[in-house]
Amino acid sequence: MIKELTVDLGERSYPIYIGEGLLENIASYFEKHGISKGSPLLIVTDGQVGPHYLEGVLERLGTAGYQAASYTVTAGEKSKSLAVLEDVIGAALEAGLDRKSAVVALGGGVVGDLAGFVAASYMRGVRFIQIPTTILAHDSSVGGKVAVNHPLAKNIIGAFHQPEMVLYDTSTLQSLPDREVRGGLSEMIKHGLIWDADFAYWCEDNAERLVGLDPEALQYGLYKGCSVKAAVVSQDERENDLRAILNLGHTIGHALEAVAGYGELTHGEAIAIGMVGAARLSVKLGHPEEIHTITKRIFEKFGLPVRIPAHLDTDAIMRAMMHDKKFGEGRMVYIVPVAIGKVEINKQMDPKLVREIVDELKQED
Amino acid sequence: MIKELTVDLGERSYPIYIGEGLLENIASYFEKHGISKGSPLLIVTDGQVGPHYLEGVLERLGTAGYQAASYTVTAGEKSKSLAVLEDVIGAALEAGLDRKSAVVALGGGVVGDLAGFVAASYMRGVRFIQIPTTILAHDSSVGGKVAVNHPLAKNIIGAFHQPEMVLYDTSTLQSLPDREVRGGLSEMIKHGLIWDADFAYWCEDNAERLVGLDPEALQYGLYKGCSVKAAVVSQDERENDLRAILNLGHTIGHALEAVAGYGELTHGEAIAIGMVGAARLSVKLGHPEEIHTITKRIFEKFGLPVRIPAHLDTDAIMRAMMHDKKFGEGRMVYIVPVAIGKVEINKQMDPKLVREIVDELKQED
């Protein structure tokens, strides 16, 4: 059974299909959505995902009469650069992509962000299709934010470019390393914590099935996670206000990623710590104690970290935070839980309070 | 007297101000349009324009309470690259630009295209202000097309990103070299030829005043040229159909630019030849002979070329044309005049006919 949901954005609305083995019918989805057979496609993937799925995708599309070229980038964040963008656009030109062509992202968040910005900027914008192959990508594949990095800042060069559709084949998740699975589930839990208490508790109750990649639990969890993201994005496509709530845990999280050495903390691990920190901040501001105890309990059930490694320097973490682009005109914007399943956007957060939280998070027991 | 016109694009509408000396009041235009004083600005200019106007602009903005940083690129097409884009975005980061900041293009088409794509992609889009300093830029500063080049193709990486306003100070045109003046006027004449016969004849009658940079003639010509461009763009912002008429003369023109050595033909010169070619094609298709004689007469009055230099190879020109991105799914789209001031989009043009025209244009007497 394939689950389907719609990201409601007026004329830019698009469907997300989630299910076991749906890539076997990839061509029928392309046909259903009017992807042109008269113009070449470009599949962008990376060195980890490509070897597993690229050949099958090319073969199925070819059999159905699509001309699909492919370009494989090195796996990892380093491929989100303008230099790699130029290479991928070179491949698009050589394959003869025109204005009716589509660019397809086959991979995780890095490939989605890179290929999405290719689609947004090639000939000033062509169609874009997402085929996420990680759990984490359930987050980045909804909402149309695409970007590459600058040597001085992450995700600073990009666009809002909505895909035509998202094809989520849960069978591609079975080969994910355990640490990536848990990291991806961290964003899924976030979607419960900001919007849907029932879903947050469902995650807690189904931690073992999710970590064990049970197909049914995965399909439901991704469906609910994508639904929350879609609901938020539908109300605020270009991040003017509401969309900021998706940054729960990300202020501290991004700073930890910047300060910790490469590979010490995954994105999902860093934001798990950040969400526990936000819950602590919430209690400090007078909200119920249980926001902190329950948040922490959920992440612990998933084997995700809840404390800042003691050797990371508080000053360095604070400095990294002040460079984060979520601070408009010098003020500190912070997403604070007010209950499980509900958050508020605090635009006047005192950096001193945040510093206290960072220190406390090092001693979190 | 400042002339003002509006590019009507719904919520993305914006004004174009044209007049002698209006940069003296630059800060008041920024204030009128709500450009934030709480967020830094970045002025992008080049090594030719910067020395004349940058200091004055920075000083006037500074006096009014704006924090403006600047970045100067090397003059010329080579600055429209992803490498230079990365440099400019680095300067934006170092200057602390945030989501409420604006990027300002002070210069001709290259600076406008580059700075516009910086504005379109920095933090996924910030405000953009155009201060064109060439006649040619009256064309590129209206319509929101911004882009950089790929080593394999011009303008292939870009976006549609409309400015907040265009500030056209005709006094900045007084120092333009004569050849650039004539080249820029070529696009102005084009706006008459595609849309407004009276304006085409006005250009012919005022050739001497325009070439001589008479302020009043310039202001009127730029106003009318921008008006035509604005009318076309208002009806077809994303180049789905009508906007293609702006490409009159550009099919042959782009091919000539690609095949001729650097500096042999300016863009304006190449499209002048292309427009005479399109007029010849028109006559061949059965339209009145005078379309060709009048078109040719107008360009000759401006001292613009009307024939293809004989040493350029016809095969090479045809090959360059077939790579042009105006050919959707392999067919040849051609903009053909049907009268002075009126063109049609022919989507079934026979490349053999175009080849005949190219050969004839070498013997144009």
- Residue B127 — very low, low, confident or very high, per pLDDT cuts 50/70/90? very high
| Cβ–Cβ below 8 Å for A124 and B150 | no
Task: Say yes or no: B304 contacts chain A, CB-CB below 8 A.
Answer: no
Write the pLDDT tens digit of every residue in A2-29.
999 999 999 899 999 999 999 999 999 9
In chain A, what residues touch B158 (CB-CB under 8 Å)?
Answer: 121, 123-124
pLDDT score recorded for residue A331: 63
Cα A188 to chain center, whole Å?
A: 9
Question: Which of the 8 DSSP states describes residue B122?
Answer: B
pLDDT at position B328 is 46
Q: Residue B15: which H helix or E strand, with range?
A: strand B14-19
Chain B residues in contact with A85 (beta carbon < 8 A): 82, 157
Q: What is the pLDDT of residue A322?
A: 78
Contact residues, chain A, for B238 at CB < 8 Å: 124-125
CA atoms within 13 A on the CB side of B33: 21
- Any binding-site annotation on B172? no
* Cross-chain residue pair A89–B147, CB shorter than 8 Å: no
CA distances from B77 to B103, B148, B273 (A): 20, 9, 21
Residue A364 confidence (pLDDT) above 90: no
pLDDT classification of A328: cutoffs 50, 70, 90: very low
Assess whether pLDDT exceeds 70 at residue A265: yes
Residues in chain A closer than 8 A to B123 (CB atoms): 156, 158, 325
Mutate to test the interface with B, among A121, A128, A327 (most CBs of B within 10 A): A121
Binding-site residues of A for NAD(+) sit at 109-113, 133-134, 145, 154
Distance from CA of A101 to the nearest CA of B (A): 10
Domain B178-363 fold is Dehydroquinate synthase-like, alpha domain (1.20.1090)
Radius of gyration of chain B (CA): 20
Hey, are the CB atoms on B93 and A325 less than 8 Å from each other? no
- Catalytic: which of A3, A161, A224, A254? A254
> Which residues of B are catalytic, by number?
124, 145, 187, 229, 239, 243, 247, 250, 254, 267
Whether B113 has a binding-site annotation, put simply, is: yes
pLDDT band for position A321 (cuts 50, 70, 90): confident
Q: Cβ A93–B152 below 8 Å, yes or no?
A: yes
Sequence-distant contacts of B280-284: CB under 8 A, at least 24 apart: B280/B357, B280/B360, B280/B361, B281/B334, B281/B336, B281/B349, B281/B353, B281/B354, B281/B357, B282/B336, B282/B337, B282/B338, B284/B353, B284/B356, B284/B357
Distance CA A300, CA A292 (A): 12
Answer whether B296 touches A (CB < 8 Å): no
Query: Which one of A36, A89, A99, A157 makes the best mutation probe of the B interface by having the most chain B beta carbons within 10 Å?
Result: A157
The answer to the question of whether B293 is labelled as a binding residue is no
For A:82-101, CB contacts with B below 8 A are 82-83, 85-86, 89-90, 93-94, 98-100
Phi, psi of A287 (to 5 degrees): -80, 165
The CATH code of the domain at A188-205+237-363 is: 1.20.1090.10
- The pLDDT tens digits for B48-98 are 999 999 999 999 999 999 999 999 999 999 999 999 999 999 999 999 999
Probe site for chain A from B113, B124, B323 (most A CB atoms < 10 A): B124
Per the CB < 8 Å rule, is B98 touching A153? Answer: no
How do residues A143-176 score in pLDDT, each as one tens digit? Answer: 999 999 999 988 999 999 999 999 999 999 998 9
The answer to whether A123 contacts B325, with C-beta atoms less than 8 Å apart, is yes
What mean pLDDT comes out for the span A269-279?
98
- Cβ distance A38 to B156 less than 8 Å, yes or no, reads no
pLDDT for residue A316: 94
- Shortest Cα–Cα distance, B208 to chain A (Å): 38
pLDDT at B50: 97
Residue span(s) of chain A under CATH 1.20.1090.10 come to 188-205+237-363
Q: Give the nearest chain B residue to A144 (CA atoms).
A: B124
Measured N-to-C along each axis, helices A351-363 and A250-259 cross at an angle, to the nearest 10 degrees, of 70
Residues of chain B contacting A93 with CB distance shorter than 8 Å: 150, 152-153, 156
Report, as an integer, the average pLDDT of A117-124: 98
Q: Which residue of A has its CA nearest to B148?
A: A121
Phi, psi (deg, nearest 5) at residue A58: -60, -40
Task: Categorise residue A303: left if φ over 0, alpha if ψ from -120 to 50, beta otherwise.
Answer: left
pLDDT averaged over every residue in chain B:
94
- Closest in B85, B90, B157 to A122, CB measured: B157
Catalytic residue among A60, A138, A250, A287: A250
DSSP B33-69: TT--SSS-EEEEEETTTHHHHHHHHHHHHHHTT--EE
Which residues in chain B have their CB less than 8 angstroms from residue A147's CB? 124
Q: Over chain A, what is the mean pLDDT?
A: 94
Q: What is the pLDDT of residue B321?
A: 87
- Rounded Cα distance between B268 and B249, Å, is 10
Q: Within an 8 Å CB–CB cutoff, is residue B120 touching chain A?
A: yes
Least CA distance to A147: which residue of chain B?
A: B124
Q: Residue length, chain A?
A: 365
What is the rounded distance in angstroms from the CA atom of residue B265 to the CA atom of residue B151?
A: 20
Portion of chain B with pLDDT greater than 90, in percent: 87
pLDDT tens readout for residues B150-207: 999 889 999 999 999 999 999 999 989 999 999 999 999 999 999 999 999 999 999 9
Percent above pLDDT 90 for chain A: 87
- CATH 1.20.1090.10: which residues of chain B? 178-363
List all residues 6 or more positions away from B115 whose beta carbon is below 8 Å from its beta carbon: B44, B88, B103, B104, B105, B107, B128, B146
The token duo for B152 is: 């394999």
* Mean pLDDT calculated for residue range A231-255: 92
Render pLDDT for B281-333 as a digit per residue (tens, 0 to 9).
999 999 999 999 999 999 999 999 999 999 999 999 998 887 654 554 456 88
Q: Searching chain A, which residue's CA lies closest to the CA of residue B150?
A: A86
Q: Is B166 one of the annotated binding-site residues?
A: no
Chain A residue numbers with beta carbons less than 8 Å from the beta carbon of B128 are: none
**Which residues of chain A lie closer than 8 angstroms to B159, CB-CB?**
120-121, 124-125, 159
Contacts with A, B 272-291, CB within 8 Å: none
Write the secondary structure of chain A as one string of H (helix), E (strand) and C (coil).
Answer: CCEEEEECCHHHCEEEEEECCHHHHHHHHHHHCCCCCCCCEEEEEECCCHHHHHHHHHHHHHHCCCCEEEEEECCCHHHCCHHHHHHHHHHHHHCCCCCCCEEEEEECHHHHHHHHHHHHHECCCCEEEEEECCCCHHHHCCCCEEEEEECCEEEEEEEECCCCEEEEEHHHHCCCCHHHHHHHHHHHHHHHHHHCHHHHHHHHHCHHHHHCCCHHHHHHHHHHHHHHHHHHHHHCCCCCCHHHHHHCCHHHHHHHHHHCCCCCCCHHHHHHHHHHHHHHHHHHCCCCCHHHHHHHHHHHHCCCCCCCCCCCCHHHHHHHHHCCCCCHHHCCCEEEEEECCEEEEECCCCHHHHHHHHHHHHHCC
Q: Please, how many CA atoms are within 13 Å of residue A328, restricted to the half-sphere of its CB?
A: 15
Beta-bridge partners for A363: none
Distances (CA, A) of B109 to A73, B120, B133, B193, B261: 33, 16, 9, 22, 20
Residue A24 sits at the chain B interface (C-beta within 8 Å): no
User: Residue B204 to residues B173, B180, B222, B338: CA-CA distances in angstroms?
Assistant: 20, 18, 14, 19
Work out the number of other CB atoms within 10 angstroms of the CB of residue B286: 7
Strands across the sheet containing A102-107: A3-7, A14-19, A165-169, A127-132, A102-107, A41-46, A68-73
DSSP state of B142: S
pLDDT at A79: 97
Ligand-binding site membership of B251 (annotated): no
Class of domain B3-173: alpha beta
Distance spanning both ends of chain A, measured CA to CA: 43
Known catalytic residue at A32: no
- Taking the alpha carbons at both ends of chain B, their separation in whole angstroms is 43
What are the start and end residues of each CATH 3.40.50.1970 domain in chain A?
3-173
Does the beta carbon of B328 lie under 8 angstroms from any beta carbon of chain A? yes
Please, are residues B343 and B193 in contact by the beta-carbon 8 Å criterion?
yes
| pLDDT tier for residue B365 given thresholds of 50, 70 and 90 | low
Binding site: which residues of A? 109-113, 133-134, 145, 154, 187, 250, 267
From A60, A80, A229, A280, the catalytic residue: A229
Residue A254 falls in the annotated catalytic set: yes
Taking contacts as CB-CB distances below 8 angstroms, the residues of chain B near A120 are 159
Q: Which residues on adjacent β-strands are paired with residue B42?
A: B69, B103
Residue A329, pLDDT above cutoff 50: no
